[in-house]
Chain A
Amino acid sequence: MDFLFYMGDVFAPVSFALLLFGTVFGLILGATPGLSPTMTVALMIPFTFRLEPQQGLILLGAAYTSTVAGGAVSAILLKIPGAPANIATTLDGHAMAKNGEGARALQLSFLASAVGGVFGVMLLIFLTPVLAGWALAFGPSELFWLAILGVTVIGTLDSSSVVKGLLSGCIGLWLATIGFDDIMGAQRFIFHDAVAGGINVIPALIGLFAIPQVIAMFARGRTDPGAEVIAVRRHPIGSALRELLGRKAPLAIGTAIGSVIGLIPGVGGQIAGLVAYDQSKKFSRESSKFGTGHPEGIIAAESANNAMVGPSLVPLLTLSIPGSPTAAVLLGGLLIHGIFPGPQLFTNYPQVVWPFINSMLVGQVLMCMFGLLIAGLAAKVAKVPHGVMAAVVLGLAVFGSYSVQHSMGDVYVMATLGIGMYFLERFGFSAAPLVLGLILGPIAEANFIQGSMIANATVGVWNYFFTGWMNWVLIAIVAGSVGYSAWMEVRSRRYTSKEEMLA
């Protein structure tokens, strides 16, 4: 119960002011496309130079918490996921916004974030020693199978057909091979300097999601000048809360998946939301409603991506290994004050660690409150003509892509992928599987190469990748997932082939 003992520190005037500042700043930056949680925390580090260690970390903890949730704002209102964690939120969130339910979508997303987030931080508080072992259990062979499992999810994610989903996933996997490869340093498909570093996920994300709708809006704007894009109906917070509590299944699935996947170094945050979304869809009785503005989609995605915040810090705090880029930046924030993370951290620096963790806990609640306030303000934005909306989204897309690493190359990548995606969408392909391919490709490849190098020096490839209960479990889930997709495809072919042909 140490964390309760140090709870008072968080509410000391200066600390609490920093906590508020971190939360609001984090929400704003998180809602800005292109500024991922990693960037936001890195931008905050200079502010902590002059602060006491405890206060500096309160600021960083609050900022980390709220940027992850803030990404939902642009994902829902503009269909631009601020970071990979928010991809799944766009699928149903933007559909709801288009139906005039933007306020409801935002409220649900912040409430679900808070529930998932508080649960994740609780795990960090009570189960850190147990979880540390789990974080180490994923070696190259397990990560390889995990990435393959992610690839099998692609087919059933947000697509009219499994085959089209898999095809767009393959495009993503191919795009992921562009650039220098991570391990051997070989150059692949580099025909222009802009892609020498590979396709950066964030500009790709912005382009794939935002540009097709910009083009569509411009195209429609001429014929239908006064049209409203976002007409937001007011929605009382109380009923959002009741709705959330009424949909326990997606909330539980999202929180559980986010907590488990968040622990795995190097994979966590990027795919937690998508996997949770996909699983909720498979388990839901209303799975056909997913993708059309179904609240369960938002609840699953947002509870998952905030549940991952707490567990993602377990490897850093206990083993001194940053498991994600954001954790690496936080490590810098600790080191600057001469604090070395590790098992003794909690005994040597309780006055720093516990307020840091508490700040994430309190940050979740504050983030939720400010988020609900934003949702209320969004309801005041009533009529936005297509032309204006398209211009705003395009401006944000260019700004967001450029700001990732101050490179025009990323803007070209964003624009090219976006224009390509516009045509792909017209043929029924969808952006989410493509992005998932782009994220998973390098994970699968690098771990396969590393695994086979280790295997060749030791037990042989077959033994390395196909023995051990973790591998067996993952392989079984992969087989199950492929089987499910195949069965769905066969079934949908039988019943909807006519519409498919017409579409």
Chain B
Amino acid sequence: MKKLKNTVNIVIPLAFVTLLLTGWEVMVRCKSVPEWILPGPVRIARTFADNAPVIAKHSQSTLLECLAGFGIAIVFSFVIAFLMDEIELIKRALYPLIVASQTVPIVSVAPLFIIWFGYGLMPKIIVVVLVCFFPIAISLMGGLAAVDREYLELFRSMKASRLDIFRMVKLPLAMPSFFSGLRISAAYSVMGAVIGEWLGAKQGLGLYMTLSQRSFQVDRVFAAILAVTALSAALFVLVVLAERLVIPWNRLKQDR
């Protein structure tokens, strides 16, 4: 019964996507839409295959920026969330600032990083960090703050130190929330890197995209979009796998 359900869960969305793609292809062919406006899926797939080595090379730099930015954002989030959770003064000082920072559009500040740090990897990594930091930090802080007060009282009555309580109680209980933030920013991180590359880069999918777009090679733009999507999905899957590895106990609830 469960197996059947799983099959249905996979087959139905897959069939739907196939239907959409077929519709797209048929429409493009029947109406003979020019390729520089909208190429069909078949054409895009061919372009993707033909340019695979180039796309792979560009993907590499984008992926590097993502992973570096993502990693830095995670480390930052842990440090900030720990400090904000333990020290009330820091929380009061930083929290409004962190929220306010999210109202600044990334696209408007990214050019500044290029002025300051040049066309290398650095400005893109900074953009990725900025994009990823917020969801991770907020979800981690939310998780830490949501820990049932009774847990804390119980552990205090057993003479646990503050560090013990953080390590043994708060951190593990905050992990499910942390990972949901991590999943969101995994998908965002590629977007951050691509935005950074749009504005000026030596290599990367964002650069490839802008170059193709300027020469009206829409099929290449689509191929780049495909690569971006694949990267985002891969990072998302990576996070989900990490989640299963780090907090295997969290899945038990769903099994019951």
Query: Are A and B part of the same complex?
Result: no
Interface residues of A (CB under 8 A from B): none
